[in-house]
Chain A
Amino acid sequence: MTLRKLVLGGAAIIGVSATAFAHSGATGVVKERMDAMKSMGEAIKRIKPMMSGEAAYDEAAVHAAAQSIADEAGEAMTSKFPEGSTDHPSEALPRTWDEWERFAALANQLEMAANGLAMAAGNGLHGDGHMMGDQSGMMGGGSDMMGGSSSMMGGSSGMMMGNGGFPNGMTAEHIGQMPADGAFVMLTQTCSACHDRYRKDDD
């Protein structure tokens, strides 16, 4: 082995460990939940290009990805956030436990959206201009951005997906009737709603 190869090999190993990202050093339940988050992110990454039209649609892949996220959501997720589990390199903000009900509601909503996406996988994508595909369409149709001027913001009835909150009474079955990309966006916006409020930025 030449010196050059040794150096290159060493550099490669360092490179790999550096990309073992912020999760390196995590142990116990913090590692478990970081691994779960990473696995959900990978599932999203696999099917996202299909949703944005950058790759061919694959129903089985969408179903499998949705199922894997549903398995990590809800109770499976909240059980990985026991009170006080903030050891380095946890990215969970203390607010997670201060607002436990709101956090848990988002975890449950994630499970609902993922189950909904699994059911919607067979629906395929909406065509451009299709009623249900866009968030705007979903909330009132066409150019009617707010569902009529008297309810510009949807009022307090919860029609507005404020902070990722779904309309009252919505179920996975409802989401399952949407085009898959509409269900996908409901799912990923739920991820974001939680990251917005409960995840600390990387240092």
Chain B
Amino acid sequence: MQRILSALLAIAAMAGLGGVSLAVWPIGNSPDLTEREGDAQRGAYLARAGGCIACHSDPGSGRPALTGGAPIETDFGRFVPPNITPHKTVGIGAWSIDDFARAVRQGVAPDGTPYYPAFPYAFYGHLSDQDIADLWAAFQGVQAQEVTAGTNEIAFPFNLRFGLKLWRAAYAKGPPTEAETDRSEDWNRGRWLVNGLAHCGACHTDRNVLGGRQTEQYFSGSDDLPDGGKAPPIRPDDLRDAGWTVSSLAFGLKSGVMPDGDTFGSGMGEVVTQGTAWLSQADREAMATYLLGEDSTAAD
């Protein structure tokens, strides 16, 4: 609550300063990745793990993959994941790799405007230059498609994008992903995936009225997902209470089957079918190991 208050106070203060200063406040910085060689295969794998394909595609629409996802209905308005094929005008074909790096890791569009946090860039900040180059190579290999999924319909005042700069300052920090040396390789790999690329916390951590993740509520679940869905708590004890083990969770991330024989819904099915099911068994086990707080799959 205190943070919401301080964020609101900050907004009030900035309004006092005048929207102009906020509008011209520069965000993001410019990387230089032009010389880096990317591995498209590895990039495609990362795109699966990161949900790029799941979110920016809507197979039921009949449009080709990556031409834009199904709309996400939120309290702030309707967000439409855009076309990210290399089309020059409707896709990302006119971008440079540095534009791409800034968009993915920092949430800043090539024209300098901030993205809405419906795009979970906060979780992608840990990606290395090589990861970005690999992703870029993968997206470059996709056929350009001149179709769009529609446009965002955001309610006032959230439609004023400069307000997002304040949001960034308050909330645009992902959970930790850096390796801890006293932990196993599995656990660290799982943490990198779970807290970073796979952005589990985007749904499984509750958000405040401004859409900021409440870090003290980390993985405690959320009752107000877009479209009225719910995400259960996924802290180690919650998972164990629900009957999960490292091996059953790793298999659940491939099959969608829960311990009671039911299967995932509310969007988690898509996370599996278009994301985690494509990962290696080792990566799924690593994610389960980290989520259950175990240091070795042998301990299961």
Contact = CB atoms under 8 A, between A and B. Distances in A.
A43 B257 CA distance: 12
A144 to B, nearest CB: 7
B273 A191 contact: no
Interface in A126-142: 128, 134-136, 139
A169 B261 CA distance: 29
B263 A164 contact: no
Nearest to B139: A152
Nearest to A48: B257
A42 B258 CA distance: 11
B64 interface: yes
A192 B66 contact: no
A150 B281 CA distance: 25
Q: Tell me the dominant secondary structure on chain A's binding face.
A: helix
Contacts of A9: none
B273 A192 contact: yes
Contact of A189 (B53, B229, B272): B272
B267 A196 contact: yes
Contacts of A194: 265
B143 interface: yes
Given A53-B247, A153-B65, A195 B263 contact: yes
B289 to A, nearest CB: 15
Nearest to B54: A162
B116 interface: no
A42 B48 CA distance: 31
Contacts of A136: 278-280
Contact of B59 (A46, A128, A162): A162
B266 A154 contact: no
A51 B262 CA distance: 15
A79 interface: no
B255 A51 contact: yes
Contacts of B66: 152-153
B33 to A, nearest CB: 19
Contacts of A143: 41, 45
Interface in B263-300: 263-270, 272-274, 277-281
A45 B273 contact: no
Given A51-B255, A163-B60, A152 B44 contact: yes
A78 interface: no
A146 interface: yes
Contacts of A128: 281
Given A189-B277, A195-B266, A156 B64 contact: yes
Nearest to A196: B269
A161 B44 contact: no
A44 B260 CA distance: 9
Interface in B235-267: 247-248, 250-251, 254-257, 260-267
A54 B57 contact: no
A80 interface: no
Given A41-B262, A149-B41, A48 B138 contact: no
A184 B44 CA distance: 25
B143 to A, nearest CB: 7
B255 A189 contact: yes
B141 interface: yes
A44 B141 contact: no
B261 A145 contact: no
A135 B59 contact: no
A51 B280 CA distance: 16
Given A152-B138, A155-B143, A192 B41 contact: no
Interface of A: 41-46, 48, 51-54, 102, 128, 134-136, 139, 143-146, 149-150, 152-156, 160-165, 184-185, 188-189, 191-196, 199-201
The 5 A-B residue pairs whose C-beta atoms are closest, nearest first, are: A162-B59, A45-B261, A195-B265, A192-B269, A149-B141
22 contacts: A42-B261, A45-B260, A51-B251, A52-B255, A134-B254, A134-B281, A145-B44, A145-B48, A150-B143, A152-B40, A153-B65, A153-B142, A155-B64, A156-B64, A160-B65, A161-B273, A162-B65, A163-B59, A164-B269, A196-B264, A196-B268, A201-B230
Given A48-B255, A51-B251, A136-B279, 17 more contacts: A41-B262, A52-B248, A135-B277, A136-B278, A143-B41, A144-B41, A152-B138, A155-B65, A160-B274, A161-B273, A188-B256, A189-B255, A192-B263, A193-B273, A195-B263, A200-B228, A201-B230
